[in-house]
Structure 1
């Protein structure tokens, strides 16, 4: 049944002399109640011929309460008055009981008169038939309404339900006694959108109605009204936040960022509402840690360039913690509709508001800067943000950007993290025949790696953490494995140089106590590989006590200590292998040193 005929059918029923009820049947979330409450009831009231009253079957445990509730709606009875009369009748006082009985008698006479006057002048709308209590037989409830209100008072009755959710009874057989016609409520997305917008005063919706309809229709075969009411509600709040902050911006910029925000909210709200099992990834450490400057990618998920290309369907990716989440987002929304791709941007903090109702407004300023740089960029061919949007470029533009970025690499203009990002992009370009500059990829790769090794010497904790994330993301790929090996070798060389100086200070007596540092396990390799034991321990004027004291003050990670090195040290310190020229005190001190080192053996 077409939606435009629903209203006509309802008013035809109201005008008719049918002794039966009308049924509106539709799935949950399609907007049945919203449509009746916000479209049909106001129109009935405006006509003024018949008065609509509405109740829900949800929450009642017996027929008496349902009947009383309907009567109160018809009569407009005051619930406080009802309670006062009942209380007075129950009090242990002749006067109170008498007053209560008198009031009840007068009320009953008045109500009887009003009930008689209501005949044929009221339409009763009964919602949520499928949610009726298990304490009440649906057959009895329909029978009571038919007998007490349709037959005795001549009320018209409209039932609203989702018949698919009425279990364990033959509803079709039951309804034949009371219900004549059934209207199937299956609204189109356009119809439902119009219904929502009727009660929403945000100018953005009316000014961009066709655009919103296009975006919603592209990603939804049907529309769950509750989901989209939530989308519009979330948008209203966040839109109010950003438009205040953008009061001085150009109108075109404001409208474009509002479109970006709407799509961001549409995607994340829909996924949160309809795929609750994925909600954990909104708050995952991966989602919060990674931030990519792309109009396709941001802090709300961990999509990467290769995900957009769709060529990384490895077992590792399928099995990773976030694969379900990123695949859901990527496969459903991205690269399906140009207008979507040209506007989507995931603003930092929006996911927190959608899930928890909290938005840190300070986050918007940073997001706005990134958004503005993407959609209204100052021309800078070397800005690595823009190569992620290569699909919208011509070959010549992508080549120019790759060349300019390479020039900046050679000049040392990029940070450690920027170089990692460029390297990952160039790997993907090379794998997909999109590496367009004249130098060979191997030549460019060698220069990038050299620059990364230089930057790694002074890498911050944040740099190290970012590299760890890249290792997780590209696990098993040759380029990241090779880079990890080179970093490890360089780090080992640096640590050996640093701790060689420390050991020299220890044995010379010039060492000043410091906190343990990352990588101090290299000490055991230095002691086993160099001549420290011969020069400073296994000699007449040995300094074994200084070394023991130093080692006892250090904190080591046992898993990072070379077993081979420790075994070699212990073998050399063994009494059987010591020079005979050592005195008793020297041997005693070396025994204590041996005990200290044995703490870190694998035994």
Structure 2
């Protein structure tokens, strides 16, 4: 990446009337590189021909265009970014005032003097001292025309001799259509950009940066550094989105810290510890990739938990000439297997899958149980009760004597009644095991169900796998079955227990979301942009969101306004948005109550009013569209 530093360093030293443009795919670390490398370069570069002090150095000013709707919004963001450099009292040069003040003080009726923005100690003279970085150009709001944006950038370049670095994924910049025709970005770019730099990061450097940035212990950081080549090899199979990799390594941090000490407990597992950790790390990275690409969800894994059955079916059709397999007609499970595992045996860890896809917290107990099965590890108390089901299976029960059959069945029922099984399906199976063969053991079915339900209520059921076979349990109900009503009663009991479990999981997830919001409301809004709002914005406490907004600094307040606008505008289906109306109305009420205290004629007060206007606008829009829909269907 040295060549980029050299190009930027040379740009800073020259008298220019053009911008530098750094382009590259999403998530490969462009912004990270700017913040961690170029900012330091800029701050340590002396300004040539500075009149008063030859040792004067540049000041970087970073502005994200994410959600920016108008030039006035952009001007406001520039001013806020400058305002943040050294506190509330600052001195603003005439050139900055003329370039930005239209979008802020006079336009928004904020009481602020042009001589009171940047600190006197900085002695900033217009844009001479500043390097403006405009990031996320492709994520601007569609209402801001690309030609208008380029025109304003050109104004800063030519009229104010500003130095500007642009950062974007050029392939994602949309051309705008107007009444005058199409505004083509590539044609417009030639008028403002002098040099376009392709950002092709050193992945080892970038991944090292991610590892260093993780808030973790030394053991986990050391492990990741030891496996850097393996991470790099795995990452090369993905879309190379560093944000996704950071998400994966953050998830794996939880897995590693919880299970790494436990792997030494069992000899069979301990001997394969390095192999197991690698397999888990690999699985976490590829599942994070597929999840963030939207190809899988918590409830829809599209068959990747059972790749072999899909592959067998595909091979059958291919070998028999039924269909010629291509990338287009191959199942998703087949594509997943060939991309990440072929020709080796695929692995699937349900507990990690649920955790990465947001369905549940990571349960180490479930994971360890899976490992013990994979490596044939049993502790005696559990192996005995599990083996009992094998002994009484249809294939093996005929090998027992009449006495053994009765004793083993009675023993099974005692374990069921004590709630010793964590697998919910065992309780349904027990009904058939006890009453099969025309109820030769002469049990009363109603009383038997009561005993099974007693065990269910005592049991610590492992519901992490319940979703995968719940539909099958319901679908298998057969009214002609003499045991159908008893089976239904057990299934209903399971469903009720599952609902209680899900409430606990939901509460835990809501608490996690609210903690995220409290730490940084802007990061939380970016999370909503990536993840979606369903099951989050309609669940969290409105007051938590409101107080997080109030406590945020001025710049964060302004960014949240643009971000939440983009997040909500992604959803055009009114019946989807109406589910979030209670949250928005609650937020509207809190904002109204806080007007007197927070909506003052200040920079922060302006951001408060701007956010309030946005929320009010969405509520009005939803209500109007709901009314129109109701009228059209009445």
| TM-score, normalised via structure 2 length | 0.49
- Name the residue aligned to 1:239: 256
Query: Compared with structure 1, are the counterparts of its residues 280 and 248 closer, same or farther at alpha carbon in structure 2 (3 Å cutoff)?
Result: closer
The whole-number CA distance in structure 2 between the counterparts of 1:310 and 1:416 is 33
- Name the residue aligned to 1:157: 164
**Higher RCO (CA < 8 A, seq sep 6+):** 2
CA contact (8 A) 2:298 2:354 kept: no
CA contact (8 A) 1:130 1:161 kept: yes
Structure 1: gaps of 5 or more residues: 83-100, 288-299, 379-412, 421-448, 470-487, 503-511, 519-555, 562-603
The whole-number CA distance in structure 1 between the counterparts of 2:231 and 2:272 is 18
Superposition RMSD on alpha carbons, in Å?
Answer: 5.1
- Name the residue aligned to 1:515: 446
**From 354, 363, 366, the counterpart of 2:366:** 363
Q: Displacement, 1:105?
A: 4.7
Query: Compared with structure 1, are the counterparts of its residues 373 and 187 closer, same or farther at alpha carbon in structure 2 (3 Å cutoff)?
Result: farther
CA contact (8 A) 2:83 2:117 kept: no
Structure 2: gaps of 5 or more residues: 47-56, 91-108, 177-182, 380-385, 450-476, 483-634
3-state SS, counterpart of residue 161 of structure 2: coil
- Deviation string 1:195-234 (CA, Å, 9 cap, x unpaired) is 43453461112111122222333x33x4122221211111
Corresponding position: 1:454 with 2:385: no
Q: Displacement, 1:451?
A: 3.9
Query: Compared with structure 1, are the counterparts of its residues 102 and 63 closer, same or farther at alpha carbon in structure 2 (3 Å cutoff)?
Result: closer
Corresponding position: 1:207 with 2:191: no
In the TM superposition, 1:100-115 aligns within 5 A as: 104-105=112-113, 107-108=115-116
The whole-number CA distance in structure 1 between the counterparts of 2:28 and 2:281 is 21
The whole-number CA distance in structure 2 between the counterparts of 1:365 and 1:51 is 53
**From 22, 36, 58, the counterpart of 2:20:** 22
3-state SS, counterpart of residue 446 of structure 2: coil
**From 343, 354, 358, the counterpart of 1:352:** 354
CA contact (8 A) 2:68 2:140 kept: yes
- Name the residue aligned to 1:196: 210
CA contact (8 A) 1:75 1:115 kept: no
Corresponding position: 1:35 with 2:49: no
Q: Displacement, 1:137?
A: 2.6
CA contact (8 A) 1:74 1:115 kept: no
> If you compute each CA radius of gyration, which structure gives the higher value, 1 or 2?
1
CA contact (8 A) 1:52 1:125 kept: yes
In the TM superposition, 1:206-355 aligns within 5 A as: 206-217=225-236, 219-220=237-238, 222-245=239-262, 255-277=274-296, 279-282=298-301, 301-304=305-308, 307=311, 311=315, 324=331, 326-336=333-343, 346-355=348-357
Query: Compared with structure 1, are the counterparts of its residues 183 and 153 closer, same or farther at alpha carbon in structure 2 (3 Å cutoff)?
Result: same
**From 46, 60, 63, the counterpart of 2:71:** 63
Query: Compared with structure 1, are the counterparts of its residues 109 and 213 closer, same or farther at alpha carbon in structure 2 (3 Å cutoff)?
Result: closer
The whole-number CA distance in structure 1 between the counterparts of 2:200 and 2:391 is 52
CA contact (8 A) 1:196 1:229 kept: yes
CA contact (8 A) 2:234 2:285 kept: no
The whole-number CA distance in structure 1 between the counterparts of 2:71 and 2:310 is 62
Q: Displacement, 1:329?
A: 4.0
The whole-number CA distance in structure 2 between the counterparts of 1:78 and 1:176 is 35
The whole-number CA distance in structure 2 between the counterparts of 1:109 and 1:362 is 57
The whole-number CA distance in structure 2 between the counterparts of 1:418 and 1:350 is 31
Query: Compared with structure 1, are the counterparts of its residues 153 and 335 closer, same or farther at alpha carbon in structure 2 (3 Å cutoff)?
Result: same
Equivalent pairs, count:
381
The whole-number CA distance in structure 2 between the counterparts of 1:464 and 1:358 is 19
3-state SS, counterpart of residue 204 of structure 1: helix
Q: Displacement, 1:181?
A: 1.1
- Name the residue aligned to 2:494: none
Q: Displacement, 1:9?
A: 2.3
Corresponding position: 1:498 with 2:440: yes
Query: Compared with structure 1, are the counterparts of its residues 79 and 335 closer, same or farther at alpha carbon in structure 2 (3 Å cutoff)?
Result: same
The whole-number CA distance in structure 2 between the counterparts of 1:259 and 1:46 is 42
Query: Compared with structure 1, are the counterparts of its residues 71 and 559 closer, same or farther at alpha carbon in structure 2 (3 Å cutoff)?
Result: closer
Corresponding position: 1:12 with 2:31: no
Query: Compared with structure 1, are the counterparts of its residues 113 and 161 closer, same or farther at alpha carbon in structure 2 (3 Å cutoff)?
Result: same
3-state SS, counterpart of residue 142 of structure 2: coil
The whole-number CA distance in structure 2 between the counterparts of 1:19 and 1:105 is 29
CA contact (8 A) 1:116 1:153 kept: no
3-state SS, counterpart of residue 29 of structure 1: coil
| TM-score, normalised via structure 1 length | 0.51
CA contact (8 A) 2:62 2:132 kept: yes
3-state SS, counterpart of residue 22 of structure 1: strand
Q: Displacement, 1:417?
A: 4.2
Higher mean Cα deviation, 258-267 or 180-189?
Answer: 180-189
The whole-number CA distance in structure 1 between the counterparts of 2:251 and 2:289 is 11
CA contact (8 A) 2:86 2:119 kept: no
Query: Compared with structure 1, are the counterparts of its residues 253 and 560 closer, same or farther at alpha carbon in structure 2 (3 Å cutoff)?
Result: closer
- Deviation string 1:171-196 (CA, Å, 9 cap, x unpaired) is 12212221111112344655643443
- Name the residue aligned to 1:130: 138
3-state SS, counterpart of residue 223 of structure 1: coil
3-state SS, counterpart of residue 62 of structure 2: strand
3-state SS, counterpart of residue 231 of structure 2: helix
